[in-house]
Amino acid sequence: MGNGEVLLRVENLKKYFPLRAGVFKKVVGWIRAVDGVSFEVFSGETLGIVGESGCGKSTLGMTILRLLEPTEGRIFFAGQDITRLPPAKLRPIRKDMQMIFQDPFSSLNPRMTIQAILEEGLRVHRVVPRDAMQKEVEMLLERVGLSRDYVRRFPHEFSGGQRQRISIARAIALRPRLVIADEALSSLDVSVRAQVLNLLQELKREYSLTYLFISHDLAVVRQISHRILVMYLGKVVELAPKEAFFARPLHPYSVALISAVPIPDPGVRKVRIILSGDVPSPLHPPSGCRFHTRCPRAQEICAMTEPPLLEVEPGHFVACHFPGSLTLEGTSG
């Protein structure tokens, strides 16, 4: 677990995308993908970010890496404010923050050899002398469980799981401090997913990495994370240590999310809490608490005022007017 040092701090981060229409591409609205998110990531921990599609979790990851420009708010990495850092000053910091992408078929350039793919970052940052490059690349491949003979091959010669290993090798090549994994296991088959999940755990120990693990899959997040952050429509609704989160989730949305995941064991009986309706559009998010349109415990106040994210137990934050009112047992508390 973390050693208490804050590696990444995000303060009131917002990322809005303009919605344009008409001949002159006038801005007719803003899609509020990330809407005022604050949290800290401690050095050495894994923070799991969960939520459904459209909740802004991927946008959040890309904005932290400055692959998207933040609309508002601040990002501190290792104590330095990187929110408005110009590209030239950002480049050396990129070395310390890497990303593993979801789609292993789109994340590797089909016209580059594995060697070229793995070398690219090393060349840009000149971390390995030219004559040691070959050895380094081979070492990386072997470290992620692939044969060193693969260096001359092209991405399309590999299966999804192997490609994801190559992506991982590229991400760790620069010995980053923070790795953001955006749905890194989602496209993989069950048996391969377990292998790659184990690999990520090993690499974390070996290179003392810090992970921001973004996923819609709660079961995977549970296996890898120390703390869990739940997002809904661009907002943080709950942030808690893993044990507390799964034992006693406080936000009704977290409860519904956990109860919606089918358990691969016919012996386990559990209460299903089925939310009605769809996730509203981030273009016109509901007033007050954004979850109130689907919340089984919504009261009048929920549509009026937005609940702040409060620390209700040590380390357990929740943004709800009635935390704990919906439980996994399905009874009102």
Q: How far is the CB of 42 from another protein (least distance, A)?
A: 20
- The span from the CA of 122 to the CA of 329, in Å, is 52
Is residue 82 within the footprint of another protein (CB under 8 A)? no
Whether 304 contacts 317, CB under 8 Å: no
Sketch the per residue contact string, 83 through 112, with another protein: x for CB under 8 A, - otherwise: -------xxx-xx-xxx-xxx--xxxxxxx
Is residue 174 within the footprint of another protein (CB under 8 A)? yes
Q: Which of residues 222-251 bind another protein (CB under 8 A)?
A: 222-223, 246
Cβ proximity to another protein, 255 vs 302, nearer residue: 255
- The span from the CA of 263 to the CA of 300, in Å, is 34
Is residue 164 within the footprint of another protein (CB under 8 A)? no
Neighbours of 162 (CB within 10 A): 21
- The span from the CA of 325 to the CA of 44, in Å, is 33
- The span from the CA of 193 to the CA of 229, in Å, is 22
With CB under 8 A, what is the number of residues at the site for another protein?
A: 73
Cβ proximity to another protein, 88 vs 300, nearer residue: 88
Whether 229 contacts 239, CB under 8 Å: yes
Phi-psi region of 9 (alpha: psi -120 to 50; beta: other; left: phi over 0): beta
Q: Which of 4, 22, 23, 53 binds another protein (CB under 8 A)?
A: 53
- The span from the CA of 205 to the CA of 230, in Å, is 25
Element (H, E) at 7: strand 6-21
Is residue 197 within the footprint of another protein (CB under 8 A)? yes
* DSSP character at residue 37: E
Q: Which of residues 246-265 bind another protein (CB under 8 A)?
A: 246, 256-265
Is residue 220 within the footprint of another protein (CB under 8 A)? yes
Cβ proximity to another protein, 275 vs 298, nearer residue: 275
Sketch the per residue contact string, 33 through 52, with another protein: x for CB under 8 A, - otherwise: -------------------x
Is residue 125 within the footprint of another protein (CB under 8 A)? yes
Q: How far is the CB of 149 from another protein (least distance, A)?
A: 14
Q: Which of 143, 193, 226, 235 binds another protein (CB under 8 A)?
A: 193
Q: How far is the CB of 14 from another protein (least distance, A)?
A: 20
What's the half-sphere exposure (Cβ side, CA atoms, 13 Å) at 164?
23
Q: Which one of 1-9, 76-84, 220-228, 308-316 is the stretch in contact with another protein (CB under 8 A)?
A: 220-228
Cβ-Cβ contacts under 8 Å for 294 (sequence gap 6 or more)? 253, 275, 276, 277, 279
Is residue 198 within the footprint of another protein (CB under 8 A)? yes
Comparing CA positions, the residue from 251, 327, 333 lying closest to residue 292 is: 251
